[in-house]
Amino acid sequence: MRASAIRQFLESQTAAGIVLMAAAALALVLANSPIADSYAAILHLPLGPLSLLHWINDGLMAVFFLLVGLEIKREVVDGQLSSWPRRVLPGLAALGGMIVPALFYLAFNRGGTASGWAIPAATDIAFALAVIRLVGDRVPATLRVFLAALAIIDDLGAVAVIAAFYSTALSLADLGGAAAMLLLLVAFNRSGVTRLSPYLLVGVVLWVFMIRSGIHATIAGVLLALTIPMTRTPARPDCEADTRDSPLHRLEHALHRPVGFLIVPLFGLANAGVPILGLPVQAWVSPVTLGVGIGLVLGKVTGVFGMTMLAVRLDLADAPAHATRTQMFGTALLCGIGFTMSIFITLLAFPGDPLLQAEAKLGVLAGSLLSGILGFAILRRASR
């Protein structure tokens, strides 16, 4: 991927992160204000077969996961993850950043609350890049690219975890329908269909089957993304195909702004509203709150920084150019900002339990805030 494309991607994620911060702050204010009941009532307003909250979490977030899938495919085929040497360092760092936070969480939780183990294992790329951007241009560009690649692999891991561990009772008939739609999408790809409309129409049907199948509907977005072509037929036989004008790139470009500036902020506005003032004191130190918060703050930095240094020490990969060890540590701390994915997994881990959801969200907010502050402070000091 060209340097200009990387810069545009990072800048769009940074701006989207700032909007998401504002939406999350507004949600907290609304949930702890005199109009908290009205705020909750609006979210549960029925709109056809689903409530407004469900349309946001199961419908609009499927579009978010579609964009995630497109970014993953682009990076693997023609970007920062297009070769094994490029995948090794962010891949190992992402692996450590998922395993170690989960272990921290499980150290505090057993039994019924153990299902939340994946909550602190996610990184919010928009928030993390927004914070690193606030430090200024003194942070090496290689670190920003490393963070983006790590977060994209982290997203891939989160998708796999959601599909494997957070599925409910499965409907074989609907799974069969979803499989048929997926095969049709693959047939489109193999037969050279480059118009986006057939893919999107079949993708909607795929989403309907998925939401009824027991596998979370947002996975439909990722499956659709993997079938979108990344090459186009050249205008003349003697010309090379330009992947920058491929269906995948066109769709990704079209989705970046609505997802970053509308869908994800709406998700934050709908789900970050923790009624802090109404929570019992015990909620602040509950096993779920501590497991999530400490998992994000200590687990993420331990897993990401530890695996990064181990990979470099064993000559498995090279450290990002021009980056000091302190800057690497600060960047690893930013990986503890797990807002969007962490809250999304919270809803899947504790369905129908408002108290556990509130405790987990409290841990997500506290852990993400502390990780962001510490990461920003260390990077700013190191960049001087």
pLDDT given for residue 4 in this prediction: 52
Q: Diameter of the chain by CA atoms?
A: 71
Q: Is residue 194 part of a domain?
A: no
Q: Which helix (H) or strand (E) covers residue 263, if one does?
A: none
The CATH number given to whatever domain includes residue 12 is 1.20.1530.10
pLDDT given for residue 326 in this prediction: 94
Q: Which helix (H) or strand (E) covers residue 50, if one does?
A: strand 50-51
Q: Is residue 210 part of a domain?
A: no
pLDDT given for residue 1 in this prediction: 44
- Other Cβ atoms less than 10 A from the Cβ of 108: the count is 20
Q: Is residue 195 part of a domain?
A: no
Q: Is residue 190 part of a domain?
A: no
Q: Is residue 221 part of a domain?
A: yes
Q: Is 40 helix (H, G, I), strand (E, B) or coil?
A: helix
| Number of folded domains that form the chain | 1
Cβ atoms 60, 340 nearer than 8 A:
no
pLDDT given for residue 235 in this prediction: 47
Expressed as residue numbers, the domain containing 318 is 3-166+216-230+242-383
Rounded CA Rg of the chain: 21
pLDDT given for residue 339 in this prediction: 87
Compute the CA torsion angle 87, 89, 95, 97 (nearest 10 deg).
-130
Alpha-carbon distance of 269 to 272, in angstroms, equals: 6
Cβ atoms 218, 204 nearer than 8 A:
no
Q: Is residue 199 part of a domain?
A: no
pLDDT given for residue 11 in this prediction: 57
Give the predicted TM-score (pTM) of the model: 0.83
pLDDT given for residue 280 in this prediction: 87
- The string of pLDDT tens digits covering residues 45-103 is 999 888 999 999 999 999 999 998 898 898 888 877 877 877 899 999 999 999 999 99
Question: Which residues of the chain are under the pLDDT cut of 70?
Answer: 1-14, 232-244, 383-384
pLDDT given for residue 243 in this prediction: 59
Alpha-carbon distance of 45 to 223, in angstroms, equals: 30
- Other Cβ atoms less than 10 A from the Cβ of 287: the count is 18
Cβ atoms 136, 383 nearer than 8 A:
yes
